[in-house]
Amino acid sequence: MRTAKRIDRLPQYLFASLDKKVSNARARGIDVISFGVGDPDRPTPNHIVEAGARALKDPGTHRYPSYYGMPEFRAAVAAYYERRFSVTLDPDTQILPVIGSKEGIAHLATAFIDPGDAALVPDPGYPVYETSAILSGGECVYLPLTEKNQYLPRFEEIPEDHRTKSKLMWLCYPNNPTAATCETGLFQKAVDFSRENDLLLAHDAAYVEITFDGYTAPSVLQAPGALDVAIEFGSLSKTFNMTGWRVGWVAGAEKAIEALGRVKTNIDSGIFDALQRAGIAALEGPQDSLEETLSVYAKRRDALVDALNTAGWVLQKPKGSIYLWVPVPEGDTSLDFTEFLLEKAGVVVAPGSGYGPTGEGYVRFSLTLPDDRLEEGAARIAQALKER
């Protein structure tokens, strides 16, 4: 049996590796507290669950769904963009539902990257940006995001040869994994840079509604000219605690939407209609659950930052996402510190090196665990460091 050479270039997926570490530790009897994966612990709001349950009982949802999604779901996404960002989209040509934004992100490179082409990938960044390019036979050019630059890209520092061979550029704000935020001005620079260099700009907006302290995150599609060169991936996963439902979309430049649609229609059969009806309920229904969720995350963020600062760090409270990006103690690598916390504190965090070379020296904490476990985990970390 001979596997494809392309998978030899693939690393083991970071979160699959974390799952194995947790399982192995628990098998040894360790009470593991995991800050590793950004999977909301709060339930999906009742009105969304009820809409999905009603749709499940409707035989009309039991057949193949449309490749391009329900018109009603696309219309709900368009209405959301108009309401939230004052961006007008054509539901038929500028919106494409995807089976969770990860699926759409993974398939985008197939539509744009040929062997020898490159994608400009944030470093650190969500691993799928890079692996999707590899699976398409392309390569990645890292776009370093550093603390010195507030984890924002410096487009003017991208070498000419990198611009020439790249066809796609990824951004993500509020950012995973660094929790950095940006203003519309950054998106305008990104749109201008993409137009000048004939790039598709792809923005991963999974955390656009997870913001704090009066900050409101923008959409890349708000930048003038964005609808010519940019697309944005949206998701219900983090906003409405729907990670398991796998409902998302991509919106923006018509040519890119059509190209991704051609890939998807040859691979899948679209989102189950019952799930799309639940998605409509999420987008069009009451939003008070989001306010509650943000209040919970803000409280956890404050508690974890305060606890880690008491243990010796000097961290600022991020204004977006569900993560903390934390430097490791001097002398440790990301993996060293991850292993130390698991063995000595029974705590799992994500090593920054799994998000790209510039992620070395950091670990990522997720806020998606109950308050009491978060507080206990922070206390265990402080004790382990004291005894080190």
What lies within 8 Å, CB to CB, of 349 at 6+ separation is: 35, 36, 326, 337, 338, 341, 363, 364, 365
Structure confidence at residue 16 as a pLDDT band (50, 70, 90): low
CA-nearest of 124, 219, 201 to 155 is: 201
Per-residue confidence (pLDDT) for residue 22, from 0 to 100: 74
Contacts of 188 by beta carbon, 8 Å cutoff, 6+ apart: 223, 224
Give tens-digit pLDDT for 246-272. 999 999 999 999 999 999 999 998 999
φ and ψ at 142, to 5 degrees?
-75, 140
Whether 155 shows a pLDDT value over 90: the answer reads yes
| Structural domain boundaries in the chain | 5-43+288-387, 46-284
Distances (CA, A) of 21 to 87, 341, 342: 43, 12, 9
Average pLDDT of the residues in 10-38: 78
The torsion angles phi and psi of 40, rounded to 5 degrees, stand at -50, 135
Does pTM surpass 0.75?
Answer: yes
What's the CATH code, domain 5-43+288-387?
3.90.1150.10
Give me the phi and psi of 81, to 5 degrees please. Answer: -65, -40
Which CATH architecture best describes the domain 46-284?
3-Layer(aba) Sandwich (3.40)
**In sequence order, what are the residues at sequence separation of 6 or more whose Cβ sits closer than 8 angstroms to the Cβ of residue 196?**
none
Q: According to DSSP H, which parts of the chain are helical?
A: 14-27, 46-56, 71-85, 101-112, 127-135, 160-165, 184-196, 226-229, 254-265, 273-284, 288-310, 334-345, 371-387
Segment 197-209 mean pLDDT: 98
Q: What is the pLDDT of residues 91-106, one digit of tens each?
A: 999 999 999 999 999 9
d(CA 377, CA 380): 5
Contacts of 352 (CB under 8 A, 6+ apart): 124, 177, 325, 328, 334, 359, 360, 361, 362, 363, 364
Structure tokens at 103: 């699926």
Is the pLDDT assigned to residue 297 strictly greater than 90? Answer: yes
Least confident segment among 9-23, 167-181, 371-385: 9-23
- 313 burial type by CB count under 10 A (0-12 exposed, 13-18 middle, 19+ buried): middle
Q: How confident is the model at residue 178 (pLDDT cuts 50, 70, 90)?
A: very high
pLDDT value of position 43: 96
Two tokens, residue 289: 């659950």
Asked if 5-43+288-387 and 46-284 have one fold, the answer is no
pLDDT in tens, 344-355: 999 999 999 999
Closest CA to 145 of 164, 166, 170: 170
β-bridge partners, 168: 119, 200
Q: How big is the chain by its Cα radius of gyration, in Å?
A: 21
- Arithmetic mean of pLDDT over the chain: 95
pLDDT reported for residue 2: 81
pLDDT exceeds 70 at position 38 = yes
Whole-Å CA distances, 340 to 347, 351, 372? 9, 12, 22
Beta bridge partners of 140: 119
Average pLDDT, integer, range 38-66: 96
The encoded tokens of residue 95 equal: 């919106």
β-bridge partners, 201: 169, 230
Taking only the tens place, the pLDDT of each residue in 327-341 is 999 999 999 999 999
Read off the DSSP letter of residue 169.
E
pLDDT at 23: 78
Q: What's the pLDDT at 318?
A: 98
Amino acid identity, residue 107? H
Percentage of the chain lying above the pLDDT 70 cut: 98
- Residue 89 in this model has a pLDDT that exceeds 80: yes
Contact of 168 with 233, CB cutoff 8 Å: no
Place of tokens 């382990």: 384
